[in-house]
C-alpha cells in the first residue's frame, strides 16, 4: 500500500440526518476512497472513479458530500486548511479537488 494521496482526520461523517462518527477519517489511497470511523473501522469504500464528490449549494463552507456505492454521505471538514504544522482537517474544497484529481478529472 502506497502513501495516501489525501487524508483527513477529525471529520464528521453522516448519512441523511444520522451522524455515523464525529471524528472519522477520509482517505484516498491506491485509487480508493475510504470513509473510516474514529477507531479505524470502515464505514464505506469504493474506487475513486465511482465516487461523486461535491459541495452542496446550501451548506456551509466546511461541508462536502460524497456519493459512495449509491449512498450519499455528508462530510464536515474544515472551513479553511489548517496552518502549516497545526492539527485539523483540510478544507472541503481540498477534499473535492483530491477526489477529482485521483479520478483523473484533472481539476
pLDDT at 81: 67
Pairing relationship of beta strands 6-15 and 18-29 according to DSSP bridges = antiparallel
pLDDT at 89: 64
- The single-letter DSSP state of residue 81 is P
Contact between 98 and 6 under an 8 Å Cβ cutoff? The reply is: yes
Radius of gyration of the chain (CA): 13
Contact between 75 and 11 under an 8 Å Cβ cutoff? The reply is: yes
How much of the chain, in percent, has pLDDT values that exceed 90? 61
How confident is the model over 84-100, as pLDDT tens digits? Answer: 766 666 788 899 999 99
Contact between 14 and 8 under an 8 Å Cβ cutoff? The reply is: no
Please determine, for residue 3, whether its predicted confidence score (pLDDT) is greater than 70: no
Contact between 91 and 78 under an 8 Å Cβ cutoff? The reply is: yes
Please determine, for residue 50, whether its predicted confidence score (pLDDT) is greater than 50: yes
pLDDT at 24: 93
* Cell representation of residue 43: 464505514
Please determine, for residue 78, whether its predicted confidence score (pLDDT) is greater than 80: no
pTM, to two decimals: 0.84
How much of the chain, in percent, has pLDDT values that exceed 70? 86
Amino acid at each position: 500500500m502506497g502513501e495516501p494521496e489525501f487524508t483527513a482526520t477529525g471529520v464528521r461523517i453522516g448519512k441523511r440526518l444520522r451522524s455515523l462518527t464525529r471524528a472519522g477519517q477520509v482517505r484516498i489511497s491506491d485509487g480508493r476512497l475510504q470513509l473510516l470511523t474514529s477507531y479505524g473501522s470502515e464505514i464505506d469504500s469504493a474506487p475513486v472513479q465511482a465516487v461523486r464528490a461535491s459541495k452542496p449549494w446550501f451548506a456551509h463552507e466546511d461541508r462536502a458530500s460524497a456519493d459512495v456505492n449509491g449512498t450519499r454521505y455528508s462530510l464536515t471538514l474544515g472551513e479553511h486548511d489548517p496552518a502549516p504544522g497545526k492539527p485539523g482537517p483540510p478544507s472541503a474544497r481540498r477534499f473535492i479537488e483530491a477526489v477529482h484529481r485521483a479520478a483523473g478529472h484533472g481539476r
